């Protein structure tokens, strides 16, 4: 097979000096690397703003003619500044604009008086006058030869100070013209390009896509090319998944089919209520999965209190009936203890194996294992787990420890899975090969939502509100509108307390002296805003966010709350203090509980009707939805108030509007994906940037489905794609380039 022209080193195409700079600054080594360093955006002539109308502090694009250009040395350090003055062609309001290029070698060389160029950058004020500092620019024409690309969109690339966008444009242009495209094989079949047509127009071939993304005649050419590269990436990823699935078929799980009359049947007979249709349907799906000899990987999504735990318990009992063990993993000790008590209460005599009051028929034992258990109790729990005496095991991340040995772990259930890292969730499986996995959440982490699209994490949804639950009216309290807004928050709390109800007040911080928002959530950092959240963290100094230790005395001193019983709860208190505060609130001895996100899960107080979240923009969408789920658990109507100091129109405020606009946790998680990124599909990051170059798992869900269907139809009996050599080679190259990351495609 002849060498792929796209694998040529850039040194051969661009020369040693330029190639070294691209390697050093951007890690680009080959023609493929450079051509897949895609533009971050394209500038169209229609985006141009007249100089006289330029706003301050915003990204702008202007087309202007150079009036003057000069060079002067810097005063305080070595180097020089190139001052450029330009004017635009707006004859109705003629105006000029000054620009400064620091060490602007290229500006000094290329921006001569009389030339017309396109400038893109962020405006600022300098000595009262508008200016552009170090803008990206592209010369459109000179005084003798108009540029044929004058009206075409101009690509702007991710660049550095030493490799500006115009250098990348020049390098890309050279490589595009130098590659022998007749020797480049296209991994995407022509029929698939037609099936993925955009507005009836088939997607371009590989060579055409490289041309259109870097040299578009119209902007829609560039967008169609990006869609083609998204399809390309989806096809290669699905090909890699298919090969891995076939290879992993030898790793079997032990089938755990339902038995006719065991613990599960006994539980169903003693339940004091009837299962909802959603619980019955979800139970049937899980039962079928457990009956197969292929490991289950399923996400059970349902609102807080919707009965997910009972559905999971019924699946766990099916495994115990079949001779295995099941583990329920919770993110905190508080929730693990609550789950342990809850399971024992639901099972009743069925959880008393080995005791005198155990029933004559089937029974098992529910064992708790946490990190803070006394040594003696921990040894006893470990022995029961290792011997198989404990059919059901409940614990925290302590269950991930290498010292925990199961006799026969058949099912691992991860509750509130957005609080765990990917590697943590896989640790149980690695230690117990073939284990079925069920993860549960009201709002899945972005990565898990993405994996449901890829088909590696099957999704089961418990629809509708839980029985007896009321919708929670949710409002954004915009404190930027004046002090009356926060005053109204306190009035709402006071009204509910006067009516005999209780309220939560959640703060981002524990101590006013803390530098940033407190993170008492899971390892994935879900409590704080993630990349792409609209810059909430950068919008203002988070040191001024509300803190529990500050708000408790402030609320006690508020005239409107005079007489209300206020207490604080946070993660720096010892377990006994936390339990005491929570027990007093549950007992109705506290009217207003001021807390951090330690109350996010595992708290059931039906009398609580108000959830006020201060500086709500400090939290992720999943956390906000979980916190809202602490109210509305009784018969009374409830309200959630999301207080923010940010101004209208800020992206972080728009995030809050998402929560206010829907009660659907999965919809909120999908919005989280769109705003924050789907997480690293190829690694352990729960949200934020992905190593995928173009593919966006929700935006391109149709392409992923299309690619999956094509792979399924064309994969050979041995799992190979050898009938399609270009695609097979692309899959092998992807595997080689992502060694150590591909396994994450099979995790949830």
Domain boundaries, given as residue ranges, for the chain: 45-152, 263-462, 472-662
Nearest Cα residue to 594 out of 563, 570, 574: 570
pLDDT of residue 240: 80
Local confidence band at 553 (pLDDT 50, 70, 90 cut-offs): very high
- Higher-confidence residue of 555 and 711: namely 555
Q: What is the pLDDT of residues 634-650, one digit of tens each?
A: 889 999 999 999 888 78
Q: What is the pLDDT of residues 498-550, one digit of tens each?
A: 999 999 999 999 998 876 654 444 333 333 333 233 333 334 557 789 999 99
Based on the number of CB atoms within 10 Å of its own CB, is 77 exposed (0-12), middle (13-18) or buried (19 or more)? exposed
- What are the angstrom distances between the C-alpha of 541 and each of 124, 265, 510, 652? 22, 57, 16, 14
Give mean pLDDT, residues 274-278: 87
Query: Which residues fall within 8 angstroms of residue 440, CB to CB, at 6 or more apart?
Result: 299, 300, 301, 302, 308, 309, 312, 413, 414, 415, 416, 417
pLDDT of residue 528: 33
Give mean pLDDT, residues 122-144: 76
pLDDT at 385 over 90: yes
Round to whole Å and give the CA distance between 431 and 586: 39
Query: Which residues fall within 8 angstroms of residue 252, CB to CB, at 6 or more apart?
Result: 293, 294, 434
pLDDT at 330 over 90: no
- Higher-confidence residue of 13 and 423: namely 13
Phi/psi-derived region of residue 6, left when phi > 0, alpha when psi is between -120 and 50, beta in every other case: alpha
Local confidence band at 697 (pLDDT 50, 70, 90 cut-offs): low
Give mean pLDDT, residues 291-308: 81
Whether 263-462 shares its CATH topology with 472-662 is answered yes
pLDDT of residue 286: 96
Query: Which residues fall within 8 angstroms of residue 99, CB to CB, at 6 or more apart?
Result: 83, 84, 85, 86, 119, 131, 132, 133, 135
Q: Tell me which architecture the domain covering 263-462 has in CATH.
A: 3-Layer(aba) Sandwich (3.40)
Alpha-carbon 162 to chain mean position: 32
Round to whole Å and give the CA distance between 604 and 454: 35
pLDDT of residue 744: 40
SS3 338: helix
Round to whole Å and give the CA distance between 472 and 660: 9
Question: What percent of the chain is modeled with pLDDT above 70?
Answer: 80
Strands 458-462 and 297-302: parallel
Note whether 691 and 698 are within 8 A (CB). Answer: no
pLDDT of residue 700: 76
Which helix (H) or strand (E) element contains residue 294?
Answer: none
Round to whole Å and give the CA distance between 103 and 697: 41
Note whether 346 and 310 are within 8 A (CB). Answer: yes
pLDDT of residue 740: 46
pLDDT at 269 over 70: yes
User: Does the predicted TM-score (pTM) go above 0.75?
Assistant: no
Round to whole Å and give the CA distance between 641 and 623: 14
pLDDT of residue 522: 37
- Higher-confidence residue of 319 and 91: namely 319
pLDDT of residue 748: 41
Local confidence band at 150 (pLDDT 50, 70, 90 cut-offs): low
SS3 121: strand
pLDDT at 332 over 90: no
- What are the angstrom distances between the C-alpha of 93 and each of 50, 119, 300, 645? 8, 19, 61, 38
Round to whole Å and give the CA distance between 551 and 509: 10
Local confidence band at 626 (pLDDT 50, 70, 90 cut-offs): confident
Q: What is the pLDDT of residues 414-465, one digit of tens each?
A: 886 544 544 555 566 677 778 898 988 765 544 444 444 444 567 787 775 5
Note whether 123 and 55 are within 8 A (CB). Answer: yes
pLDDT of residue 478: 93
- What are the angstrom distances between the C-alpha of 128 and each of 67, 94, 125, 365? 21, 19, 6, 76
Note whether 611 and 506 are within 8 A (CB). Answer: yes
Paired with 368 in beta bridges are 394
- The domain made up of 45-152 has a fold known as OB fold (Dihydrolipoamide Acetyltransferase, E2P) (2.40.50)
Q: Is CATH 3.40.605.10 the right assignment for the domain spanning 472-662?
A: no
pLDDT of residue 386: 95
Alpha-carbon 323 to chain mean position: 38
Local confidence band at 393 (pLDDT 50, 70, 90 cut-offs): very high
Could you please report the per-residue DSSP string of 595-650?
E-GGGSSS---TTEEEEEETTGGGS-HHHHHHHHTTSS-SSS-EEEEEEE-SPTT-
Local confidence band at 372 (pLDDT 50, 70, 90 cut-offs): confident
Q: What is the pLDDT of residues 649-664, one digit of tens each?
A: 787 888 899 889 887 7
The structure tokens listed for 134 are 């170090």
Question: What percent of the chain is modeled with pLDDT above 90?
Answer: 39
Round to whole Å and give the CA distance between 219 and 204: 14
pLDDT at 679 over 70: no
Q: What is the pLDDT of residues 181-190, one digit of tens each?
A: 999 999 999 9
Local confidence band at 47 (pLDDT 50, 70, 90 cut-offs): low
Give mean pLDDT, residues 197-213: 92
pLDDT of residue 531: 27
Local confidence band at 145 (pLDDT 50, 70, 90 cut-offs): very low
| Least confident piece of the model among 236-250, 357-371, 595-609, 646-660 | 236-250
- Higher-confidence residue of 129 and 428: namely 129
For residue 143, the tally of other CB atoms under 10 A from its CB is: 10
Note whether 503 and 496 are within 8 A (CB). Answer: yes
Round to whole Å and give the CA distance between 649 and 667: 21
């Amino acid at each position: 097979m002849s060498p792929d022209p796209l694998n040529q080193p850039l040194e051969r195409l661009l020369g040693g000096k330029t190639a070294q700079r691209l390697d050093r600054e951007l890690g680009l080594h080959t023609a493929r690397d450079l051509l897949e360093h895609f533009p971050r955006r394209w500038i169209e002539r229609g985006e141009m703003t007249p100089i006289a109308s330029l706003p301050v502090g915003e990204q702008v694009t202007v087309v202007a003619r150079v009036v003057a250009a000069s060079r002067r040395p810097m005063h305080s350090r070595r180097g020089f500044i190139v001052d450029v003055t330009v004017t635009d062609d707006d004859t109705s309001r003629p105006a000029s604009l000054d620009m400064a290029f620091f060490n602007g070698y290229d500006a000094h060389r290329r921006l001569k008086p009389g030339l017309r160029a396109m400038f893109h950058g962020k405006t600022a004020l300098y000595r009262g006058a508008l200016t552009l500092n170090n803008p990206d620019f592209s010369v459109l024409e000179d005084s003798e030869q108009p540029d044929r690309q004058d009206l075409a969109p101009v690509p702007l690339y991710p660049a550095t100070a030493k490799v500006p966008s115009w250098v990348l444009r020049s390098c890309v242009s050279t490589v595009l013209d130098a590659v022998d495209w007749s020797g480049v094989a296209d991994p995407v079949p022509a029929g698939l390009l037609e099936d993925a047509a955009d507005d009836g127009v088939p997607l371009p071939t590989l060579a055409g896509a490289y041309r259109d993304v870097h040299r578009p005649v119209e902007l829609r050419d560039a967008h169609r090319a990006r869609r083609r590269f998204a399809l390309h990436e989806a096809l290669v990823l699905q090909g890699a998944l298919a090969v891995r699935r076939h290879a992993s078929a030898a790793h079997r799980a032990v089938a755990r089919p339902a038995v006719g009359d065991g613990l599960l049947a006994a539980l169903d007979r003693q339940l004091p209520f009837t299962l909802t249709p959603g619980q019955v349907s979800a139970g049937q799906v899980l039962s079928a999965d457990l009956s197969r000899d292929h490991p289950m990987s399923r996400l059970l999504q349902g609102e807080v209190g919707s009965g997910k735990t009972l559905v999971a318990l019924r699946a766990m009992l099916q495994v115990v009936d079949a001779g295995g063990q099941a583990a329920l993993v919770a993110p905190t000790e508080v929730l693990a203890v609550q789950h342990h008590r809850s399971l024992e209460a639901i099972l009743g005599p069925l959880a008393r194996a080995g005791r005198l009051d155990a029933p004559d028929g089937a029974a098992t034992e529910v064992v708790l294992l946490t990190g803070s258990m006394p040594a003696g109790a921990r040894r006893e729990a470990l022995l029961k787990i290792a011997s198989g005496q404990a059919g059901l095991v409940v614990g925290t991340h302590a269950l991930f420890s290498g010292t925990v040995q199961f006799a026969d772990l058949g099912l691992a259930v991860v509750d509130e899975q957005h609080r765990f890292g990917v590697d943590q969730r896989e640790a149980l499986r690695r230690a117990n090969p073939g284990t079925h996995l069920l993860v549960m959440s009201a709002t899945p982490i972005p990565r898990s939502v993405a994996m449901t699209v890829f088909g590696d994490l099957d999704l089961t949804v418990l629809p509708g509100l839980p029985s007896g639950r009321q919708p929670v009216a949710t409002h954004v309290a915009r404190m930027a509108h004046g002090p009356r807004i926060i005053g109204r928050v306190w009035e709402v709390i006071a009204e509910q307390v006067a009516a005999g109800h209780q309220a939560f007040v959640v703060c981002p911080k524990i101590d006013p002296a803390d530098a940033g928002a407190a993170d008492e959530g899971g390892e994935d950092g879900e409590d704080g805003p993630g990349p792409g959240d609209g810059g909430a963290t950068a919008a203002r100094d988070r040191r001024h966010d509300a803190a529990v230790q500050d708000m408790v005395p402030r609320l006690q001193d508020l005239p409107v709350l005079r007489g209300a019983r206020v207490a604080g709860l946070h993660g720096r208190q010892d377990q006994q203090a936390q339990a005491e505060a929570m027990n007093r609130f549950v007992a109705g001895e506290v009217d207003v509980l001021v807390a951090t996100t330690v109350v996010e899960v595992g708290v059931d107080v039906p009398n609580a009707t108000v959830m006020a979240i201060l500086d709500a923009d400090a939290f992720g969408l999943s956390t906000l939805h979980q916190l809202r789920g602490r109210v509305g658990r009784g018969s009374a109507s409830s309200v959630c108030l999301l207080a923010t100091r940010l101004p209208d129109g800020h992206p972080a405020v728009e995030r809050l509007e998402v929560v206010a606009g829907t009660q659907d946790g999965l919809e909120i998680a999908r919005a989280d994906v769109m705003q924050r990124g789907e997480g690293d599909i190829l690694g352990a990051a729960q949200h934020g940037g992905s190593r995928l170059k173009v593919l966006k798992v929700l935006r391109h869900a149709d392409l992923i489905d299309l690619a999956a269907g094509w792979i399924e139809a064309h994969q050979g009996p041995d799992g190979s794609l050898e009938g399609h050599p270009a695609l097979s080679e692309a899959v092998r190259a992807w595997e080689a380039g992502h060694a150590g990351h591909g396994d994450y495609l099979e995790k949830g």
